[in-house]
Structure 1
Amino acid sequence: MMRSRRRFIQQSASLALLPGLKPLSESYLSDIQRYSTAKTPEQLAVDEDYWALIQRAYTVSPSLLNLNNGGVSPSPAVVQEAVERYFRLSNEAPSYYMWRILDQGREPLREQLAALSGVSPDEIAINRNATEALDTVILGLPLEKGDEVVVCVFDYPNMMSAWRQRELRDGIKLNYVTLPAPCEDEALIVQKYVAQMTAKTKVVHLTHVFNWTGQVIPVRKIADEARERGIEVLVDGAHSFVHLDYKIPDLGCDYFGTSLHKWLSAPIGTGMLWVRKDKIAKIYPLVPGEKPLSENIRKFENLGTRPFFIEQAIGQAIQLQNAIGSARKYERLFYLKNYWAEKVKDLPGVHVYTSLKKGFSGALAVVGVDGFTPGELESTLLSRFKIHTTPIDKENVKGVRVTPHVYILPSDLDRLVRALTLLSQESAGKLAKGGK
């Protein structure tokens, strides 16, 4: 055992010293630290010198304004360089460098993710995205015919497809929560979820931040209500992890899944699953291994050969995240959302479907303009103004989703404001002439 541990430590050390793997420079980290410790998160949120410094870490397009970071965020340059270097190294002798060298970096990486999440490393599985993480739980839970699950009409499509498959295959029943957009009444949100809980409810599925609207729901309060009734809680944290300021235990849930290529800016195709220690054994893995009912979280990583070079570059993204800090990051992202939304919310024909209040939103917001379908608004912003967003057409929410990240500056968002102001004027003129 001692020899095995010593060998692991030696291999981990050699991994850290591989040539060409460049962390953020000490001078850069020193500059970030000097700025961040001198001000509160609220004060730092409007310090453009600091965020211009953060922007330097990214390779930003000089022409296209990317406001769809909620779909997938670009990675900082050091993360890109790590992926490229690990990939080149892997191809020198794939079976050796991937399985004997890079694979040894998973345990240190697991510890870093656990520290970032506030949980035990033995509860963290590394995978490819939130869909894989959450589907592992959804399809692996031991549910029977007649069992009920509470979901919301604004939950993510891939998760809903998994639940509907179980409904079709196993005869479970889905009870749907409906919410207005936006909703700024925590008690109402909690009541809506509680109203769908019955004596047959086994699981409540909670999307912390809805991708459709940017709505933040009071996960902990709903989870507490569920736990009082003996109901398990699964949280979709794809849009909340290192976007909002929290640790996983703060949510009071049993299962949690997220993508790391969104708000962490980790390599594209990286994700994380957390399962409460005493729940691991009963969840069947998505890809079966030799011991499907093992208590070891690593059973959920049985994916066969996969791109270790992508996975191992997560560490560089964590380094930048830790340098910024969750509280400072949330304040900045909330400020950016309100910066543009406050300027357009009262324009004629413009509709903002996202709350501008803390606790109910972060960086994501959806805006619509009369006279434009979501698809037309998205294509117009792209073709005429070179602003990349994503169309949203869900329930009564019709517009485009705008999601800035830490590398976006207010001057960038002024471009969006000018575009929406012009489109508002054009829409008013068109409608005045009897157009549709």
Structure 2
Amino acid sequence: MSNRRSFLKKSAALGLGAFGADSLFNALHAQSFSEAEKLWNPASQDNEAYWSVIQDAYTASRSEVIILNNGGVSPSPVSVQVALEKYNLQAAQGPSYYMWRIMDKGREPLRKHLAALAGADPDEIAINRNATEALNTVIFGLPLQKGDEVIGTMQDYPNMIQAWKQRQLREGVVYKQLSFDFPVESEEQIVKAFENAITPKTKIIHVTHIINWVGQIMPVRKICDMAHKRGIEVVVDGAHSFAVLDYKIPDLNCDYFGTSLHKFLSAPVGSGMMWIKKDKIPKIWPLLCNSVPNSGDIRKFETLGTRSFPIEQAIGEAVNFQEAIGNKRKQERLHFLKKYWAEKAAKIPGVKIHTSLKPEFSCAIAGFSVDGLKPSEVDSQLFQKHNIHTVGIVWENISCVRVTPHVYTKLEHLDKLVGAIEQIAKRV
């Protein structure tokens, strides 16, 4: 009986413990991070000793496969892995009790800390499963009428494009797509393209903060400011910018925002977040049913049915990890890693870089191509001959191999990538 009481006490603490002194981050990483901080020199370009500690916190840094497709989904650090395992073990003792009566109590603390990371009001944050779910909730929930116009781009993420096309097919909403030849190193050019597409019927602009195919950073704040002057709302896809760029969501001046947390935040696979400006919440219909669909409570978007509570609660340890590094430092590191390999690759004959290397126009993601080879052929050779995992991209006017390092990526891995690209280019 004593052991049972002890187990229940520990289980209850586990459901709420990600943000307490007994967090797994504190147990597994805090001491090494504290020691690493002593190695940090803000005046130096060489802080590899510091970053080696961050790398060691990821088992992926020791993988036999060099993972450079973190733009798809990222590995988690050890503390997040252990949290997910513990929550799963806890839930397995009796899901209906431990999920709904123990772990469910952890959602509000998690909401509060995600909101702090996002610089938002907790009552504007909904926790869900990915950017597609978040943004489709907004896209299908907006009260648009036949003939209302939406402006997006051909370079947006397919699931968002298809959602808008479905509204067009079913309801007669007019969906207009711009097309850009990236890289574009002029914010004014991008803003002007959206502005020129506006008509008196335009209600919504959909903009992808960082274009997932090639890493172009879009001038979201300037687009939002321009749109709001004309009474137009803006939906922002932040799947590749959240926990990458150093910003707060309200500073973007957008109306709606969705992101995945299993990319650069390194939360468990199947975790996402939606932000809606508070005064906009009542008019957005939930994607899934709710008893009060016109409520102003952001929680109306969380009636997803039975889902993985362990995944949801393990997000907390990812927030701890992110905050321990800091948004600004992480952004600068990701830009450095991108620039490190891409500048070298650009000097290889027959290799073209499809992404601006300036920090205001890209961060972690960059694309390259090799003359005479399809992206799929280059991607295949990188994996089969060099054990490097990237992804070949062919979408609209974009044809390249996308490379996305993360904070656990070692410089030696990027050196191997450059060497592999050089070998591939020489064989053409």
TM-score, with length taken from structure 1: 0.92
Matched with 1:236 is 237
CA deviation after TM superposition for structure 1 residue 346, in Å: 2.6
CA deviation after TM superposition for structure 1 residue 309, in Å: 0.7
Is the contact between residue 215 and residue 354 of structure 1 (CA under 8 Å) also seen in structure 2? Answer: yes
- The 5-angstrom pairing of residues 2-401 of structure 1 reads 15-16=15-16, 23-25=24-26, 28-33=29-34, 35-36=36-37, 39=40, 43=44, 46-60=46-60, 61-401=62-402
Is the contact between residue 208 and residue 236 of structure 2 (CA under 8 Å) also seen in structure 1? Answer: yes
CA distance in 2, matches of 1:28, 1:132: 32
Is the contact between residue 366 and residue 403 of structure 2 (CA under 8 Å) also seen in structure 1? Answer: yes
> CA separation of 1:14/1:413 partners in 2, compared to 1, >3 Å: closer, same or farther?
closer
Deviations 1:324-375 (A, max 9, x none): 0000000000000000000011321111100000110001001110121111
SS in 1 for 2:224: helix
> Which amino acid is the alignment partner of residue 15 of structure 1?
G
> Which amino acid is the alignment partner of residue 47 of structure 2?
D
CA deviation after TM superposition for structure 1 residue 32, in Å: 2.6
Identity of aligned residues (%): 54
SS in 2 for 1:106: helix
> CA separation of 1:125/1:12 partners in 2, compared to 1, >3 Å: closer, same or farther?
farther
Deviations 1:403-432 (A, max 9, x none): 0000001111000000011111112xxxxx
CA deviation after TM superposition for structure 1 residue 26, in Å: 5.9
Instruction: Give the aligned length.
Output: 415
CA distance in 2, matches of 1:106, 1:62: 32
CA deviation after TM superposition for structure 1 residue 12, in Å: 7.2
Is the contact between residue 41 and residue 327 of structure 1 (CA under 8 Å) also seen in structure 2? Answer: no
TM-score, with length taken from structure 2: 0.93
> CA separation of 1:348/1:133 partners in 2, compared to 1, >3 Å: closer, same or farther?
same
CA distance in 1, matches of 2:17, 2:403: 40
Is the contact between residue 128 and residue 271 of structure 1 (CA under 8 Å) also seen in structure 2? Answer: yes
SS in 2 for 1:86: helix
Is the contact between residue 41 and residue 331 of structure 1 (CA under 8 Å) also seen in structure 2? Answer: no
CA distance in 2, matches of 1:187, 1:12: 53
CA distance in 2, matches of 1:22, 1:227: 42
Matched with 1:404 is 405
CA distance in 1, matches of 2:43, 2:278: 36
CA deviation after TM superposition for structure 1 residue 81, in Å: 1.0
Is the contact between residue 39 and residue 47 of structure 2 (CA under 8 Å) also seen in structure 1? Answer: no
Is the contact between residue 16 and residue 109 of structure 2 (CA under 8 Å) also seen in structure 1? Answer: no
Matched with 1:415 is 416
Is the contact between residue 381 and residue 424 of structure 2 (CA under 8 Å) also seen in structure 1? Answer: no
CA distance in 2, matches of 1:109, 1:70: 24
CA distance in 2, matches of 1:73, 1:201: 36
Question: Root-mean-square deviation (CA), in Å?
Answer: 1.9
5+ long unaligned stretches in structure 1: 1-10, 428-436
Is the contact between residue 156 and residue 211 of structure 1 (CA under 8 Å) also seen in structure 2? Answer: yes
SS in 1 for 2:197: coil
> CA separation of 1:407/1:89 partners in 2, compared to 1, >3 Å: closer, same or farther?
same
5+ long unaligned stretches in structure 2: 1-10
